[in-house]
Structure 1
Amino acid sequence: MMAETAEEISRKPEIRKELQRATGEKRSEGVKARGRDKLWFLVHALVLAGCVAAYVILGWKLIALPQSTLGVVWRILRGTALIVIVLAIARAISVYALGRIEDPSTRFTLQRIMHLVVALGIAVIAISIIFVNWYAALAAFGVGSIIIGLAVQTPMKSFIAWIYILIRQPFRVGDRIQIGDATGDVIDVGYLDTTLWEFGGKYISGDHPSGRLIKFPNEKVLDEIVYNYSWPLFPYIWNEIKFYVAFNADLEFIASTMQKITEEELGQEMIARVQTFRDLLARTPVDELEVRERPRVIFRVNENTWLEAIVRYLVPPREAGRVKTRLIKKLLAALNTAPDKVMFPAGANR
């Protein structure tokens, strides 16, 4: 199977969205209303025009009605007109705003939120129709809302953060993240909280799952830094392995051996795939020249009078632990075949 090209990968919705976000490009194709949507817009316009016409006719007293009845009819017409306006605005948002969202789950969730807001708006309008003094009814509704809001302040903040997560997407289900002291793979993003499948943690080292679930309120996203290891434009992280060697070791031999073993372990397919994502990064403000698809060996002076031989390479986050374990075994086996060239610390010198 041939590896996907940068152009093919860039057509994927999540990749295209990240490219648009990183480069500031806007989606070129517009959103057009379907025939059914146009029909609803026409119906809303006709009903609104009918309400306005009836309101004018009653205002000019072309139809004689008792004053008490006239007041009720005016309130019904006014409420109907407001409901039609709310429904028309909701329909326009659904077609021209939410219709631009490519992710179906995000679009569906935002539509549910909009339906909730519309229902609350219609309820307020209905209260204004039922009560003669609708200003007082609205004031009472507002005071009640404030009291309820104060009582559920934390859940409301988490609900708002949930909307933020859906729109800005600091992480999605399946991403590997760190937020505060919690690290893990996102397995669920609910209305009020997010669930992680923890890796590492208190009882286990490395990148292996600990078996624990972590739940945190969504509001934490608004207050904490989120580290995401699963950026669609570059789903890799840098990892490195270091060994201590003597100053008079054969550095050329060590560098070539570590480079060769690491490239063989990663495989040409992995290197080619990193090159593909490197080409995608070239379309963003990220300096893709610093992204090397092949492993790199560097040397650094250590404070303990030894040199550090470091091989740095790219790896998918979920495979970092397994790849590092395999590499350590193979690197040690290869380097130990020439102890006079490598000159590892030995005995009391370790």
Structure 2
Amino acid sequence: MDGIIRLVGPSQALEIFGIRLVGFNAENARKLLMTLLLFLLIWGARWVIRRGAKLALRHLSGEQAGFWAIQATHLITAVLLLLGLASIWFDDPTRLATALGLVTAGLAFALQRVVTAAAGYFVILRGQTFRMGDRIVMGGVRGDVVALSFMQTTIMEMGQPPSVQNADPAMWVRSREYTGRLVAVSNARIFDEPVYNYTRDFPYIWEEMSLPIPYRADRARAEKIILDAALRHTVTDSQLGREALEEMQRRYFLKPTQIGPKVYWRLTDNWLELTVRFIVPDRGIREVKDALSRDILAEFERAGLGFASTTFEIVGLPPLRVSPGAAGSTGEEVK
């Protein structure tokens, strides 16, 4: 057995059947053992850091504190792991420089997307694109950000309103509510496509509802019913506060705009289209529209108003006469 497997030379290289295996020696074995111990220590340190962060932040509410605790844990353990591996395997600076050169060359060809995703992670950490809990559209996925890692952003997918139901990918949920699917999107997508953020800096969005009414209807009464319902169920100037909008205008040079609900008229070939524009919170939009629809429908019925439609209702038929000369005819009038 000693003749088959031996440790030879000053470096105690492994030799099998007289063939010396490159890289298999006593020194590398010790380094491999130290690497395994390092991974165990890093795993233990990560557990301790996360437990300590939870204890330190247990009195704080909100998602942002927990998010930053998780990201800090990832960054600290990653730095410790890289420093430990470099210290174990590259104790000679010349070897480290050579290894870094080879790794850089390999990254340039084989790991472009990985490097881009990691760069996207640090861009996201700056908080200028989105934060934990934000409602976004990223990589064609609509939903709320629920997790962030070095490579991927995890989004709780939501459905689509009817106006964009034909968008790709199509959803079976016809509103901005969760579908139940968790979608992982590469962080590199922030460099390739725009990221739409529903909630950053201004947790409200503008919405519209269009209602067709006949030209002969009481248009002023219909407008008042719609506007009163919007004032009851949507965000008004007093609820929103001028400070939030003024801050948006200061930071992004937005022009002053209408905050309270407003009804717009549009003439069509078939009816008068009344469109009410209003502001709602970024969550609960379906509930607001449901309440608006119920109130408007009830008030329209009480006021004797109706909605215009392209459908036809057959309420009667003219008398049908059968010619006496027809075969099998009795000459009777059929009504």
TM bucket by the smaller chain?
0.5 to 0.7
Answer with 194-203 or 117-126: which moved more. 117-126
Matched with 1:175 is 134
Matched with 2:312 is 348
The alignment-based identity, stated in percent, is 25
Matched with 2:267 is 301
Matched with 1:259 is 227
Q: CA deviation at 1:267?
A: 6.7
Residue of structure 2 aligned with 1:220, choices 162, 168, 189:
189
Alignment: residue pair count: 239
1:229-240 correspondence to structure 2 within 5 Å: 229-232=198-201, 234-240=202-208
Contact 1:159 1:191 in 2 (8 A): yes
Contact 2:211 2:307 in 1 (8 A): no
Distance in 2, Cα, partners of 1:322 & 1:178: 21
Distance in 2, Cα, partners of 1:267 & 1:231: 18
Distance in 2, Cα, partners of 1:182 & 1:330: 33
SS at match of 1:284: helix
Distance in 1, Cα, partners of 2:229 & 2:297: 10
Is 1:193 the equivalent of 2:161? no
Distance in 2, Cα, partners of 1:183 & 1:210: 10
Q: TM-score, normalised by structure 2?
A: 0.61
Matched with 2:245 is 278
Pairwise CA RMSD: 3.3
Matched with 1:63 is none
Q: TM-score, normalised by structure 1?
A: 0.59
Is 1:290 the equivalent of 2:290? no
Q: CA deviation at 1:138?
A: 2.0
Q: CA deviation at 1:348?
A: 1.4
Distance in 2, Cα, partners of 1:112 & 1:212: 25
Distance in 2, Cα, partners of 1:214 & 1:119: 29
More strand by share: 2
Distance in 2, Cα, partners of 1:140 & 1:215: 32
Amino acid at match of 1:319: G
Unaligned ranges ≥5, structure 2: 1-63, 160-169, 314-335
Amino acid at match of 1:336: E
SS at match of 1:169: coil
Structure with greater Cα Rg: 2
Q: CA deviation at 1:231?
A: 1.8
Contact 2:264 2:275 in 1 (8 A): yes
Contact 2:235 2:279 in 1 (8 A): no
Q: Flag the structure with more relative contact order, 1 or 2, with Cα contacts below 8 A and sequence separation at least 6.
A: 1
